[in-house]
Each structure stands twice: as C-alpha cells, then as structure tokens.
Structure 1
Amino acid sequence: MFYFKKSCSKKLTTLTLSMLAICGTTAFAQLDVKTTQSGTKNTFDPTLLTTDDSDTASQIDTKKTSSDTATIKSLEKSGKRYTKVDLSEYAKTVNESIWSPNMKVNSAMTVKIQALLDQHHASVGAIDGGWGNNSKNALANFQRMKNLPATGKMNQETWDALSVGADDVLVSYTITQDDITKFGKLPSSVEARSKLSDLGYESIQEKLAERFHMRIDYLTKINPNKKFVAGESITVVNTKDAFEGGFDKIIANTATNTVTAYQGDTLMASYPATIGNSKKPAEKGVYSLNSKVKMPHYRATVTKGDSKQTFILPPGANSPVGVVWMSLDKAGYGIHGVSNPEIIGQPAPIGSIGLSNWDVLELYANVQEGVTVEIK
C-alpha cells in the first residue's frame, strides 16, 4: 500500500509518518520515496515578491492580455476521455474499497474518500492518499453540505452520503499528442522569467497532475515504469465535471484555511486555500469582487535591501497567481491560483486568497462581479 505525507517540500526523502485515522485509529508506515525532477515542482522562490497595499495600482497588468487557451482547456477537460478497461491492480483495489466502522486506515480507502470528496465539490486540494487538515476540513464541509454533524471524521451516515451512486475514482487515461506540448525547466529568477512568453508546465507529469487533481509524486508513484508519452495509458483520478449553478457568497476562513461557496445560506462547494501571506495576515472584513481575469500578467516587485524592481511576469500555470486573478475592492487583495498546489493550506508569499488552479477555475466559472467575499 502507498502512504504519503502532505508537505510543501520540493523533494521527498525517506519518510516515517503517522496518518491520522479517518475512523479514530492510527496507522504507521514507512516508505522510501525516490523522486526525480519530473516528480517535483519548480525551484522558483516566490518569497522574493512583495506587494504594496498602500498603492492602489493593481498587481495585474490589465493592459496585457493573453491568447493562450490551451492551459485552461487542459485543466477543464471533462471525464469523457476516461476508460475503465485494463485498470491496474492498484486502481481496482481503490475502486472496490468500502468503508466500515473500526477498519484500519489504508491508503486505498483514503484515496477513494479524497476522490469522492473532490467529485462532490468538497476539494481536498491535490489528492495523494495522505490524510491531513485539507482532507479533514473537506470532509467536515461535505458533512455540512449534507446537514450532517460536521466532525471531520468518517461514519456510516457520511459514507452512505458520499458513496451513493459513486463512480470509479481511479480510471485509465490515454495520453494524446495534444498533451505533449513544449516543456522545459523555468529559470529561478524573476527577471529571467519576465523575459519568457509564458510560464507553462515544466513537465508532462506536472501538467497531468494538475488536470487530474493529484500531487506529482503520487501520479508517478501509482504509474511505475511509465514513460508518459503519447499513446500510453496511465492511472489517474476520475475528477468528474466541474460545479455548475453559480455562487452568490464566498467566505474565506483564516482559522481553517478554507474557502466556502454558497447559494443563499446553502453551502455548495469548499476549497482548501492559502489565506493571507507570509508577511502579514489577510485583513478580515467584507469585500466585493471587482473583476475577473484568466491567464493574467502579474506585476512582480522584487525587493533586495533598500532597492525595488518591478517586472511583468507572463501568464501560465506557473505564474505566481496561477491561471486566474479575481480582484477584490481592496488594494492588493484578490482570489487567485497558485503555481504550486502543495502549499495549499499554508500562508502564501503573495496575494490574499490562493487556490489550486483547478479549484480557482471552478470558482471563477460560478461567480460574477459584485459577489460578496468575506474574510473571517
């Protein structure tokens, strides 16, 4: 069985970990994880970037627009391209897992719960088979959606609601030639990045991990000996379709690092988030969503000692604000994507409310300008 630990570390070594039990018990496992560059995120350090909230100038360069739709389309692919034939033994084990009281924690059950929560729009962020705060908060929010006691722990009533009519959570996907676009390691400096035409994915593994809501190292781990080339079938998460229906209120909770979306008083979706930044917390209050931009050009300010330099960074999945920026009516505040979904749930170096690229796209599609956004 596979066990993974939530981490914002760029590289994993031998891990000794304890997984918090979903049903109240604790399991221990040890796993040697050997990752290659294809299983790690880029080395860019966004802590170099600063924002000046006293300046009403936008962080987004609205004079520049992007014609790149390929990245958005890649993230928004529907589940119609999946198949359920020739599944791996691991995929079959996960799909056939059924929760029962007092069962021992195992990664197959954990992955299934994470994927089912994702399908019900209670996102856990990047699915990895490790149970942490993002998963616990997602489970509690799902329970709220179903008017169940929001304990964040699995029980029979919650399992019945989560699994009713459930489809396979791991499926097979055949890599297409369209998936094989130009990849390459991005430079680490802000100045060098500003000279590029886009900040796209560095590897096919990174691209597919985001499309299928997975950590890169988990994707590569459950697809051993795969070369990730066109025509090859791999095991991925069945992400189903994005939410449709609209939200009229958004709440960003700084205590739980979650964003919840409502229709009236009814909770419809939830997302793990980075709220505030590493230099100061987000200012609590009620705001209004001013504007929405896909594939934004980001105005990055680099501070070195007493000097500051400003660079315009091109759009892309590895932009500091990901593939979406939605500004609030407070200077420097916005809801945006992040270049590294592994940091979700922790204070971010920039921005105010950061979500994974796939979650922020779902939110983007369901809110209009003028929607109330509360930070509490």
Structure 2
Amino acid sequence: MGPQPVRAWGTGPDAAQAAEPASPPAPVAAAGQDANDPAILTGKSGVLRAQVLLLRAHYSSGEIDALAGRNLAKAVRGFQKAHGIEPSGKLDAATWALLNKDAAPVLVEYTLTAGDVAGPYAPTPEQPADKAKMARLVYEDIGEMLGERFNSKPALIRALNPEAEMVAGTRLVVPYTRPAEQLPKAASLVVDKSDGVLQLLDADDRVYAQFPASTGSSRFPLPIGDWKITTVVRDPDYRYDPDLLVNQPKGAKPAMLPPGPNGPVGLVWMGIDKKHYGIHGTPEPADISREQSSGCVRLTNFAAQAVASAVAVGTPVHFRE
C-alpha cells in the first residue's frame, strides 16, 4: 500500500517494449552436485531440487533456500492441483515423477562479470529521510544481487560456493532459474488471502502459475473484490507517506524515495483501480508470506518481474478471502 510511483525507468506492458535479449548459451551443469541427480529426493539436496523444478514449472516457493517450510508446501499443493494429484503438499512419488520430466540441470555454472563485481553497491539507510538522499536504492552487496538474480537466499549462494572469491572470472554454482523468468500471458490474476498466494489464470480460468505473497494487515486489510491492472511501472520511485504504512519510524515525514531493488516496492509496481493499492516487489524477499504488508500484494522482486511480463493494463485482478 502507498502512493503510486511517479517515474519509471525502462519499459513495461503499458509502454514500448525493449528488444528481446539474445538467447544465452545452454547452461552447463555444475559438477558434483547431488541436486542435479533425479534420484535424490530427500534431504537438503532433494528440497533444493524440488524448489528449482517447482519454480521452473511456475509454482514458486519464494526464495530458494534448500529448506522445507510452508511456502514449499504451498507450491507443492498448487503444482499438485494443477496436475490432478491429491494436493497433500508433500513431495510424493507422483509429484516427483512429473517434476523430473524437466531434465535441465538444477545447478549450473555462472561466471562473474566485471559488471557484477563493480555494482554499484551501497548500504541501505534505515531512515526514509536518508533514503531520499540516495540517487538510487541499490543492492547492498554482490551477494544480495546474486541472490535476487537467481531467486535464491544469499546464504544459499554462499553455501554453494564456500571458497569462491567474488572477482570477475570466478565460476560459481547457482540455481538454474532462467526458464521461470518468462510466463505466458495471463487472462486474470487471483490473490488468495487465506493461502497467501498470487495465481495466474489462463482464458479457461485454469491456474498455471503461483507465487507466495504477503497480502495485507489488520490495519490495512486486502481489499477483497474485483479490480484490474491500471499501470505497470518498472524500476519505480516512490512517494513515501508514513500515515499509509504500518510499523513506520516515529516522527517519519513524507518523502520521495528513489528507485532501486531496495526501494519499498522493489523493482516493479503494478497498480490497480483502487487508490494506493497495487502488486509490487520488495527489498525483503525472505519475509514474503511470513510478514504482513500495508494492504498491497507483495512479491519477491523476481516474482514481481515475472508477473509483470505476463500482464497488461486492463488485466482483471480478483482479491479473495
């Protein structure tokens, strides 16, 4: 929740489209990784494999962290419902059989570039007034950037590369998430408050993608009803008003905050036809569906960018209990 962003960098579904990037080379499977073995179904490697395959099937458990939890169970249930499997939320044999039809490696090699290392990176100030003085609310360090690029908890990237030096030319082991970045166009969106998920539906009202979401608070509840997308803004700046938000610093005053991944609405704002409400990213991906929002629908930046690629101005949005 909060005032609409006022400026966008880049393009979105309501603006001219940028040229399609060149296709990347085929991924190179990282050697010696249990998560790349289809026979590994349990333990941290099994959870990691499931999280990556679910994301690539468009049923996200949020940040990939190799840890089982409620977001993973939600993703499994969504995937099971979509494929006619009893929605237990457990990784049973039938679920694994379908997931393992995706034969691409789960963990691949990625070589750090000079641009990756250079950033820019900077600490994010705590106070809104200090944030407003920044030219851009950039990633704090290369670990945070890599985490968001590969939809992973930074601690997982470190655990996969314990001896790696973060210098150009270093080869890292990372989750292969690129196939999840582009979604088919959605006929509508559903935000389910009770499940804490955002779902994409096709023209036949079938769910084909799902992401965990934070969906309001007692002070600013999710506005149940039928709405539509009115704007899609990539890399938005933000009119900060503490009166419209929860848990704000005492004495905070309105301010204009610059864009960036660590801004209050992250890398994407999708406004709806209810003032101050929208669907957006976040600077705190680990909190998605675990902490309340200020009325809006909050996704990880990775998820918000994927959803933005699948909607357009006018796409219906249904908020449900």
Distance 2:40 2:61 in 1: 18
The equivalent residue for 1:83 is: 28
Q: 2:123 aligns with which of 166, 181, 185?
A: 185
Shift of the 321–330 alpha-carbon distance from structure 1 to 2, 3 Å rule, reads same
Q: Is 1:208 aligned to 2:146, yes or no?
A: yes
1:327-346 matches, cutoff 5 A? 327-346=271-290
Distance in 1 between the 2:164 and 2:235 partners? Answer: 31
Deviations 1:302-339 (A, max 9, x none): 36899662101111000110001011111121000011
Choose the corresponding residue for 1:198, options 136, 141, 144: 136
Give the SS at the match of 1:113: helix
> Residue 218 of structure 1: SS of its match in structure 2?
helix
Name 1:266's counterpart in structure 2: 206
Question: Aligned match of 2:164 in 226, 243, 247?
Answer: 226
Q: Could you say if the C-alpha distance between residues 195 and 158 of structure 1 is closer, same or farther in structure 2, counting changes exceeding 3 Å?
A: same
Which of 71, 86, 93 aligns to 1:134? It is 71
**Alignment RMSD (CA, Å):** 2.4
In structure 2, what is the Cα distance between the partners aligned to 1:80 and 1:316?
28
Q: Deviation at 1:78?
A: 7.1
| Matches for 1:1-376 after TM superposition, within 5 Å | 51=2, 59-62=3-6, 64-66=7-9, 80=25, 82-84=27-29, 87-89=30-32, 92-98=33-39, 105-180=42-117, 181-241=119-179, 242-264=181-203, 265-277=205-217, 279-302=219-242, 309-376=253-320
Cα displacement (A) at 1:97: 4.3
Percent of residue pairs bearing the same amino acid type:
27
- Under a length normalisation based on structure 1, what TM-score does the superposition of the two structures give? 0.76
Tell me, yes or no, if the aligned pair for 2:223 and 2:319 is still in contact at 8 Å: yes
Matched residue, 2:15: none
Specify whether residues 307 and 234 from structure 1 end up closer, same or farther in structure 2 by C-alpha distance, changes over 3 A only: closer
Name the CA distance, whole Å, in 1 between partners of 2:211 and 2:64.
13
Amino acid at match of 2:208: M
- Give CA deviations for 1:123-180 in whole Å, capped at 9, x if unaligned: 1111011111111111111112212222211222211111114211011111011212
Contact 2:269 2:281 in 1 (8 A): yes
Structure 2 residue aligned with 1:4:
none
Q: Which amino acid aligns with 1:154?
A: L
CA distance in structure 1 between the aligned counterparts of 2:104 and 2:218, rounded to whole angstroms: 40
Other structure's SS at 2:254 match: strand
Q: What is the Cα deviation at residue 243 of structure 1?
A: 3.1
* SS of 2:198 mapped into structure 1: strand
2:242 counterpart SS class = strand
**d(CA) in 1 for partners of 2:139, 2:26:** 21
Answer whether contact 2:127 2:249 (CA < 8 A) is retained.
Answer: no
Equivalent position SS for 1:279 = coil
